[in-house]
Amino acid sequence: MAKILALPAGVLHLQVGTRLRQLIVEGAIAPGAKLNERALAEKLHVSRTPLREAIRMLAAEGLVDLLPNRGAVAVQLTVQNIADTFEVVAGLEAQSGELAAERITDGELSEIRALHYEMLAAHTRRDLPTYYRLNAAIHTQINAAARNPVLTHTYRTVNARLQALRFRSNQDEAKWTRAVQEHERMIELLAAGDGPRLRKLLIMHVEHKRDAVLAQIAAAASAPAAARA
């Protein structure tokens, strides 16, 4: 891994935060795992000062919990927390899509299309990390095109806690392919300015993510029991 020590002190924690976020989202740091500052500082080639700033930044985003006497741990949601959070995110994405269909500019639509084509290429390569980064960027751009700062702030805050789960939901091939098809339809509806249909599609899209995540959790929970039988 390339060292990041040469970055200016004022932005170093942002770079560290980006890398730390990636480790959490992609599962290298498991949900509920304690963030070992010494080990992470060595892994990321930085001192503990920017690392601690990065951890506080991710705590504000909802990816990290700061617990008394335990330090920082990667967020771990209960099944009910997950279902409740997906329910809220579905409403926020639906509102974003409906407003974006009314307010999006040609330039913004072109940028989303470009991200979509890059995402399709990543899907063809089965490059899940790149696919997820581009997928998340598309959802963020749709939200931005809604031109509602309160909606944007709320969406980013709530959705942050689901990033790792949304990443892993694409590990099922059939569900991944369906998600790509849903994204194709999103572009069509944005271009047509069809807010009501885009609203319905985004709710369905998020619910499919929720169902995939809950199915994975149920399967993981049943595996140890099956092994003991």
* Residue 15 contacts residue 4 (beta carbons within 8 Å): yes
- Give the tokens for residue 22: 């990636």
**What are the pLDDT digits (tens) for 167-207?**
888 888 888 999 999 999 999 999 999 999 999 999 999 99
Report the SS3 class of residue 74.
strand
**Cα torsion angle, 181, 182, 187, 188, sign:** positive
Give the CB-side neighbour count of residue 45, counting CA atoms within 13 A: 8
Q: Residue type at 94?
A: A
pLDDT at residue 138, rounded to an integer: 98
Using only C-alpha atoms, the chain has a radius of gyration, in whole angstroms, of 19
What span, in angstroms and rounded, lies between the C-alpha atoms of 220 and 207?
Answer: 20
What pTM does this model have? 0.82
What span, in angstroms and rounded, lies between the C-alpha atoms of 86 and 75?
Answer: 15
Give the CB-side neighbour count of residue 214, counting CA atoms within 13 A: 15
- Give the tokens for residue 221: 């929970």
What span, in angstroms and rounded, lies between the C-alpha atoms of 203 and 10?
Answer: 39
What span, in angstroms and rounded, lies between the C-alpha atoms of 180 and 186?
Answer: 10
Q: What is the mean pLDDT of residues 123-134?
A: 95
**What are the pLDDT digits (tens) for 13-43?**
889 999 999 999 988 999 999 999 999 999 9
pLDDT at residue 222, rounded to an integer: 83
DSSP 8-state secondary structure symbol assigned to residue 90: H
Query: What residue ranges define each of the domains in the chain, with the CATH number in brackets?
Result: 9-74 (1.10.10.10), 79-228 (1.20.120.530)
**What are the pLDDT digits (tens) for 38-75?**
999 999 999 999 999 999 999 998 899 999 888 999 99
Range 166-177 burial, b when 16+ CB lie within 10 A, else e: bbbbbeeeebbe
Terminal-to-terminal C-alpha distance of the chain? 43
